[in-house]
Amino acid sequence: MPFLSRTCERPKWDNKIQYLLTCIGFAVGLGNVWRFPYLCQIYGGGAFLIPYLIALVFEGLPLLYLELAIGQRLRMGSIGVWNSISPYLGGVGMASMVVSFLVGMFYNTILAWVLWYFFHSFQNPLPWRSCPVFNLTGKSVEECELSSPVNYFWYRETLNITPNIETSGSLQWWLVICLATAWCIVYVCFIRGIETIGKAAYITATFPYLVLTIFLVRALTLPGAMTGLKYLFTPQWEILKNPRVWLDAATQIFFSLSLAFGGLIAFSKVNCLIQDAIIVGCINSATSIYASIPIFAILGFKANSNYEDCLNNNILSLTNAFNMGDQNITIENYETWLTYLNTSDPTKVANLHLKVCDLQTFLDQSASGTGLAFIVFTEAVIKMPGSQVWSVLFFIMLFTLGLSSMFGNLEGVLTPLLDLKLVPTCIPKEIFTGFMCLVYFIFSFIFALGSGNYWLEIFNSYVGSVPLLVIAFFEITAVSYVYGINRFSDDIEWMTGRRPNIFWQANWRVISPLMLLVVLLAYVVIQAMQELTYSAWNPNYVDFPMYEVLPYPGWVCAICVLLSTVPCILIPLVALYRFVHFLKKRVERLRAPSFYENEGYVSDM
Amino acid sequence: MFPRLHFAVCFTAVLGPTLVHTLCPDTADGYKVRLSIKTALGDDAYKWDESEMFLFRATLAFAMRKYNQKPYEVSDVLVCNETQRVSFWFVVTDPENTSELISGKDVERAVRISRNRINNAFLLTDETLEFLNIPPTLAVPAESGTPPWLIVFGVVIGVVGVGIIALLISSFIQKRRKKGVTEGEEEDCEEEACDKGNGVSHPVEEGADGVNRGFVGDIPFTKL
């Protein structure tokens, strides 16, 4: 019967594996491998997992189920869906579109970085294996000596980063051409259509797991890996008091499941994933945690080797100053020797200016921020035999993961624009898409400046956080209280044959909106009182290679606030606009009532 | 206790003229050498004794000979201030006039030329056999004309560019072909009353019995 095609039928047995692979391919993206470990590391590892899992269960899964169901039921793009629930909520769709646009700008910059590393993987030896050396003097660059070749390659040769955000530096031409390549590839794949890419998704769905497992095995065999893993899994309970952790946990769930971006609703128009929403959500989170295990193992290894280098430097200074036998002082007996020498000749020891070597500081400091995945995996790659092959494989994997997310992003911007009829129909879709990619490309020049990485972190923290939560809050309240939970449950029963149980009902009605509201309010209140800071890479800093913590200047703070509020402002603005329109119509009708006007057909627009 | 030991070591280590007290260490023309044998060789480390010192002096004499072809002897290399570390100072005297020292610059150049041979004689490297104030000489790294990454970039952007042009042309051709067919389709749409709800045009889903399936979705909600 034709009308049954609207319900979500489970596929037959032989298609089951293909179907599951499509779900998995959809669930895993760059957010799992790049963003989750970087957030995890900022919040000191283990402590982040608790708010993350809580956010998954009480905010992520309910919202995922909701978006999939509403998209499948109403069969419209993100703007149409909210308009049809209530005209006053049309702003939610527009806010999603603006957020998709802003995220797309910086997201493709990450792909440009991936391409840059990919291009450099075809050299022997890999350029991040050792420090570049000046020809005649035989000395290597000081910045590289003090940090590490891998860090130097990332901060200096890739980003050419400036010491602070005020210094913009110049446009790095190599990043511009990588950005151009990335946008061209996105454009080609987008106009070709997702259908042909869909077949390749069966390989691209399992490929990341294979590569991650290989890296996991290698990482666990490195010395110091266990230190890193302990760091990941031991919670620091004090972190939980900071509302920023809860905010970032919720936004990570939203980011990685592509919730509140509008793309999911459009996706659900065509594909029916409602029954497997839970599986998709859980696979996504499990993959994030699985991807962070090798990253933290390698972080542990890096911290451990930095710590040993620090100690060895101190030992060398002591051995040379006191002319003692070589290897008399070792890492094991360093402490005893230090105390002995300090008591016998404290001035000589003081003159050596020995560094304090603390493993915990190295764990916190060895790599962090948006470059974490790049630094850590390139470090791992140089320790493997056949480094070039692993490097190429890894960066292809990252690129394909990011590419599929970029499609969702572009869809999230293009479809609403087409729905809003802002595109003149004479322009063919390909030309318009090309024009959009060009606009995106020009805007992303910001991230190709010397201070580009600092701007990317701002975009990542302020666009990919508060607006998503606000949109999510309005989505849940719109469906629960404007559309009606009972009506929604009936829809789901009709589509899947089962009514959603008490867990979903409780979440949609009370728990999720309440949690979102509490987290948002707590965050706004506490952030308003604090100074906003960031970590800068400054070779002239006294404690280099530690990051220098600087406050954001006033104008940058203003931009941060703007980025967070502009998407959210659209919601009340559109409601206001509709209300004014409604009032105008009311006034007109009162002035000149027409007997021939049939009010039964007043359009909802 | 310690200074006396140094003195004794100097005496026994230098077999030669008694000018050792005044010439060595001459910080202008002398260099300090530092060896880290255990760091370099671990368990295979050899013990530093008089024979090893003899080898050092002989190697240095060899390096000087290689440098300016004068007939240097082992006795021309004077060593003093030996410590447990193992570190010591050395100076080189002129073979023709043993009260004259070879200048520091010449010694430095000689060492740099034969550095590799000196290192290998002791199974050590530039870091573990240090001549303080003599920088190590490194092999000049091979420089290629175009950086390899630009080549890869060129290949990728070429393929992508060709892809874009090919796709645009093929979709343009497809559109041209479709235009002939769609003109007929649009007339069909007007006859059957297309559902134009919400600005999106769907052709109406018709079953075999001619029932308009566009309203099927509302069936559960229509209560009598």
Give the largest Cα separation in chain B, rounded. 126
Q: Name every chain B residue with its beta carbon within 8 A of the beta carbon of A135.
A: 140-141
Q: Which pLDDT belongs to residue A181? A: 94
Interface test with A, best of B52, B116, B149 (most A CBs within 10 A): B149
Phi, psi for residue B120 in degrees, rounded to 5: -65, -30
Give the list of residues 6+ apart from residue A363 with CB closer than 8 angstroms, or none. A227, A228, A231, A299, A300, A303
Residue matched to tokens 């993961």: A401
Distance CA B92, CA B109 (A): 13
If DSSP codes are grouped into helix, strand and coil, which group holds residue A148?
coil
Distance CA B77, CA A434 (A): 76
Question: CA dihedral in degrees (A37, A40, A42, A46; nearest 10)?
Answer: -140
Distance CA A590, CA A585 (A): 9
Nearest CA in chain B to A77: B200
Residue A465's region, left for phi above 0, alpha for psi from -120 to 50, else beta, is alpha
Tell me the per-residue pLDDT of A39-89, one tens digit each, with 9 for 90 and over: 888 887 778 888 999 999 999 999 988 888 888 888 777 788 888 888 888
Identify the H or E element spanning A535: strand A533-536
A219 annotated binding-site participant: no
Asked whether the bond before B25 is cis by omega within 30 degrees of 0, the reply is yes
Nearest CA in chain B to A316: B36
Taking chain B, what is the end-to-end CA distance rounded to the nearest angstrom?
115
Nearest CA in chain A to B142: A135
Residue type at position A53: L
Distance from CA of B18 to the nearest CA of A (A): 26
Distance CA A323, CA B97 (A): 34
Low-confidence ranges of chain A (pLDDT < 50): 1-6, 12-14
Beta bridge partners of A535: A549
Distance of CA B168 to the CA centre of its chain: 45
Angle between helices A554-591 and A466-477 (to 10 degrees): 30
Q: Which pLDDT belongs to residue A115? A: 94
If DSSP codes are grouped into helix, strand and coil, which group holds residue A242?
coil
A405 annotated binding-site participant: yes
Say what the pTM is. Answer: 0.77
The answer to whether residues A386 and A108 touch, using CB atoms and an 8 Å cutoff, is no
Interface test with B, best of A73, A119, A603 (most B CBs within 10 A): A119
Interface ipTM > 0.85 = no
Taking chain A, what is the end-to-end CA distance rounded to the nearest angstrom?
34
Residue B160 to residue A119, Cβ atoms within 8 A: no
Tell me the per-residue pLDDT of A480-499, one tens digit each, with 9 for 90 and over: 888 888 888 888 888 888 88
Retrieve residue A288's tokens. Answer: 């994030």
Q: Which residue in B34, B144, B51, B16 sits closest to B89, CA to CA?
A: B34
The answer to whether residues A98 and A566 touch, using CB atoms and an 8 Å cutoff, is yes
Q: Name every chain A residue with its beta carbon within 8 A of the beta carbon of B49.
A: none
Q: Is B152 exposed, middle or buried (0-12, 13-18, 19+ CB in 10 A)?
A: middle
Could you tell me if B34 lies within 8 Å of chain A, comparing CB atoms? yes
Within 187-206 of B, beta carbons closer than 8 Å to A belong to 198-200, 205
Distance from CA of B100 to the nearest CA of A (A): 30
Q: Which pLDDT belongs to residue A139? A: 67
- Chain A residues with CB under 8 Å of a chain B CB are 1-3, 6, 76, 80, 83-84, 115-116, 118-120, 122-123, 133, 135, 137-139, 177-178, 180-181, 184-185, 187-188, 191-192, 319-320, 323-327, 419, 421, 428, 430, 490, 494
Residue B160: which of A118, A137, A184 has the nearest Cβ? Answer: A184
Residue B171 to residue A180, Cβ atoms within 8 A: no
Distance CA A162, CA A455 (A): 12
Per-residue pLDDT of chain B (224 residues; tens, 9 = 90+): 545 544 444 444 444 444 455 667 777 788 888 888 888 888 888 888 889 999 999 999 999 898 888 888 888 888 888 888 888 888 888 888 888 888 888 888 888 888 888 888 888 888 888 888 887 766 656 666 778 888 899 999 999 999 888 888 888 888 888 877 665 554 444 444 444 444 444 444 444 455 555 554 444 444 44
Asked whether the bond before B216 is cis by omega within 30 degrees of 0, the reply is no
Q: Which pLDDT belongs to residue B194? A: 42
Residue A6 to residue B83, Cβ atoms within 8 A: no
Q: Which pLDDT belongs to residue A132? A: 81
A28 annotated binding-site participant: yes
Distance of CA A20 to the CA centre of its chain: 24
Interface test with A, best of B47, B84, B153 (most A CBs within 10 A): B153
Q: Name every chain A residue with its beta carbon within 8 A of the beta carbon of B87.
A: 320, 323
Q: Which pLDDT belongs to residue A603? A: 59
Distance from CA of A255 to the nearest CA of B (A): 29
Residue A84 to residue B198, Cβ atoms within 8 A: yes
Nearest CA in chain A to B170: A192
Distance CA A212, CA A207 (A): 9
| Residue A510, CA distances (Å) to A259, A502, A594 in order | 19, 12, 45
- Give the start-to-end residue ranges of the domains of chain B: 2-131, 148-178
Q: Name every chain A residue with its beta carbon within 8 A of the beta carbon of B85.
A: 319-320, 323-326
Distance from CA of A1 to the nearest CA of B (A): 8
Distance CA A123, CA A130 (A): 13
- Beta carbon pairs, A and B, within 8 Å: 100
Q: b/e map of A141-156 (b: 16 or more CB within 10 Å)?
A: eebbeebbbbbbbbbb
| Residue A251, CA distances (Å) to A197, A277, A363, A516 in order | 28, 18, 25, 10
Residue A419 to residue B199, Cβ atoms within 8 A: yes
Distance of CA A159 to the CA centre of its chain: 19
Interface test with A, best of B39, B84, B85 (most A CBs within 10 A): B85
Distance CA A422, CA A415 (A): 11
The answer to whether residues A99 and A467 touch, using CB atoms and an 8 Å cutoff, is yes
Q: Which pLDDT belongs to residue B189? A: 43
Distance from CA of A292 to the nearest CA of B (A): 29
Distance CA A250, CA A145 (A): 39
If DSSP codes are grouped into helix, strand and coil, which group holds residue B31?
strand
The length of chain B is 224
